[in-house]
Amino acid sequence: MGSTPVFEAKETVRKSKGAGSLCCYCGGPVMVATCDVELLFCFIPISHKVKTKYYCIICSTRFVPA
Residue 43 to residue 2: CA distance in whole angstroms: 17
Q: What is the pTM of this model?
A: 0.72
Each residue's pLDDT tens digit, 11-42? 999 999 999 999 999 999 999 999 999 999 98
Element (H, E) at 52: strand 44-56
Query: Residue ranges per domain, the chain?
Result: 7-60
Residue 50, pLDDT > 80, answer yes
